[in-house]
Homo-oligomer: A and B are copies of this chain.
Amino acid sequence: MKNIRTDLALEAREVLQEQNQFHIPGVKVDEEEKEGVKISRVHIMSPLGEENLGKPQGNYITLEAMDIKYRDPEYQETVSTLLAQELGKLMNLNDNSVILVVGLGNWNITPDSLGPKVVDRVLVTRHIFEYIPEQVDERIRSVCAVAPGVLGITGIETGEIIMGIVQRLKPDFVIAIDALASRKTDRIGTTIQIADTGINPGSGIGNKRMGLNRDTLGVPTIAIGVPTVVYAHTIGRDCIQLMMDEFTNQAGPGSSFYQMFKQMDEEQLDAMVQQVVSRSMGDLVVTRKETDLMMDYIADILADGLDLALHKNMTIEDINHFLN
């Protein structure tokens, strides 16, 4: 697993499947399809499962909504509604719950700006509870939101900013939104992962040194992420892998080709890819030319999903009335 860079538990599992490991000890998976959206639930149940998938124990729910890119308003509403349902199952909300939404990422880098964009759109209400409690509609819960920025802008580890705010506000739940990197290009802007394990160091597009999870924050922490890029390196690796498989198939396991291939190690492969994607590889990403537009509609879908999940008996229409 170690050389595969993916933020999706679903993809970590796919990698093992590609290596013909269909039963993964310590991991339970179930899948269903609803209204054109494929929902996969990966449950990592034990330290063994943790080791096998390279992700912390917990629940990872993935919505694959391939048609999002056609930007049909009804389909978008369907995705928001399914997101809200899955989110609801992971959170035990009551009438007095206070929820802090954290939008991770860099607002100046389009494919990393998902979190800040969601913070700009989500319905916040905590100030109504605090300052004009008499105006609180009985359908709303207390929601607040921050976009803390990234290390390069603030000089402060994101985790520290959030810990400071959490210690002061004492929310009952934290929901962290982040842009992710996937392995497959067709997941860019079409897949949403919800994880009750929070954010862990090294995940997301930016670099994180500190986790945002129950251990570090002291409150249940849900992460919601959407892949917005695939690292160029991944594309290179995948192309080479595919060709090797192809030729190995054709040449057969007894062939000299197969021998040659077996002798190549990870490092040799990486060096090859590096020749193609150049020295400044680290920040090279594959994305859609229309990323700017994509970020906007994904942020809308997540904000709508959060609004539906966090408040009570409200439709998207009700929420629009509140927002405006």
Contact = CB atoms under 8 A, between A and B. Distances in A.
Contacts of A320: 73
Interface string A52-71: 00000000000000000111
Contacts of A293: 108-109
A304 to B, nearest CB: 14
A256 interface: yes
Contact of A164 (B73, B155, B168, B185): B168
B160 A120 contact: no
Chain A binding site: helix, strand, loop or mixed by DSSP? helix
Interface residues of A, number: 92
Interface of A: 69-73, 107-112, 119-120, 124-128, 130-131, 142-149, 151-157, 160-161, 163-169, 184-186, 188, 205, 209, 229, 232, 235-236, 238-240, 242-244, 246-247, 250-251, 255-257, 260, 272-273, 275-281, 283-293, 317, 320-321, 324
19 contacts: A72-B321, A72-B324, A107-B107, A110-B291, A119-B154, A143-B155, A146-B154, A167-B167, A185-B280, A188-B284, A235-B236, A236-B236, A239-B272, A239-B276, A242-B275, A243-B272, A246-B272, A251-B260, A284-B289
